Amino acid sequence: MGRILAIDYGIKNCGLAVTDPLQIIANPLKTVKTSSLLNYLEEYWGQEVLDKIVFGYPTHMDGNPTYVVKEIEDCVKKIRNLNPGILIDYQNENFSSKEAQEIIMKSGLNRKQRQDKSRLDKISAVIILQRYLKHI
């Protein structure tokens, strides 16, 4: 059984989270520049068995997709060209960043650590992955 990797996709940066090989526990992995995401994924699935990639799917309050969805769809096409066998799924990511901010505020980190945007991106990806794991 391989891992599931979640992506909190952003225009500048992407937060990544991954399960353990048994697909039980979600852990923060890394924050990468969006421009480097495909290279990172190629390197990652060369080292780890990856069953699936789950993208956070951003929508407005009325349920309509945000402008980022077009970028996500373009990225998915590129991933499928690089690795046709990889499964790709989506998980609603509404309020994941807000939830991540609350977790960071309660964590006891100092101010500088709380303001680290890469930490927020990774925790948002963990939240997306946890929601997905509850869904399957």
* Stated pTM of the model: 0.90
Residue 37, Cβ neighbours under 10 Å: how many? 19
For residue 116, is pLDDT > 70? no
Residue 88 tokens read as 């790709």
State how far the Cα of 90 lies from the Cα of 53, in Å rounded to an integer.
Answer: 8
For residue 104, is pLDDT > 70? no
> What structural domains and CATH numbers belong to the chain?
3-135 (3.30.420.140)
pLDDT of 20 reads 97
Q: What is the DSSP string of 91-109?
A: EE-TTHHHHHHHHHHHTT-
pLDDT of 95 reads 76
